Amino acid sequence: MSGGDGGGTSDGMEPRVKALEAGMEKVLGKLDEISKSIADGRLDTEKRFGALEVRLATIEGKLDTKASAASLERIDGQIKSIPTTWQTIAILVSLLGGITAIAFAISKLMHP
C-alpha cells in the first residue's frame, strides 16, 4: 500500500502534462491575438459602445414618459404615506396605554 505518492512512478503523468501544455498554448495564442487586436485598433470599443448608446437612446425614446411619470408619482405618494419614526412611537405608546387600561379595568372587575 502506498502513501499517496504514486508509488514512486509517474505513470500516466506524461499525457496529462502534454494535454495541459497544449491547452496553455491555445490560451496564450488567444491572448496574443487579443493584445494584437487592441494594439492595431481592430478591437474598436468606442464604436461598440457608441452603438450601445444609440440602442439605449432608441429604447428611451420608445418609453411612455406619461405612464412613467404617473407611476413615479404613485410610488412617491406611497412613500410619503409611511409614518415617520415619531409617529410610529406615538402609535405604539397609544396602543400600549389602551392595552394597559383594558387590563386594569378587567383586573378591577375580577377583584372588586
pLDDT single digits (tens) 36-55: 877 776 666 666 666 666 66
**Category of 110 on φ-ψ map: left (φ > 0), alpha (ψ -120 to 50) or beta:** alpha
Flag whether 93 is in a domain.
yes
> How many domains would you assign to the chain?
1
Instruction: For 11, list phi and psi in degrees, rounded to 5.
Output: -60, 130
pLDDT single digits (tens) 48-107: 666 666 666 666 666 666 767 777 888 888 888 888 899 999 999 999 999 999 999 999
Flag whether 110 is in a domain.
yes
Tell me if 95 sits within 8 A of 87, measured CB to CB.
no
Please state, in angstroms and rounded to a whole number, the distance separating the CA atoms of residues 25 and 105: 87
Range of the domain at 105: 82-112
Flag whether 15 is in a domain.
no
Flag whether 3 is in a domain.
no
Flag whether 95 is in a domain.
yes
Flag whether 103 is in a domain.
yes
Flag whether 100 is in a domain.
yes
Flag whether 63 is in a domain.
no
pLDDT of residue 102: 95
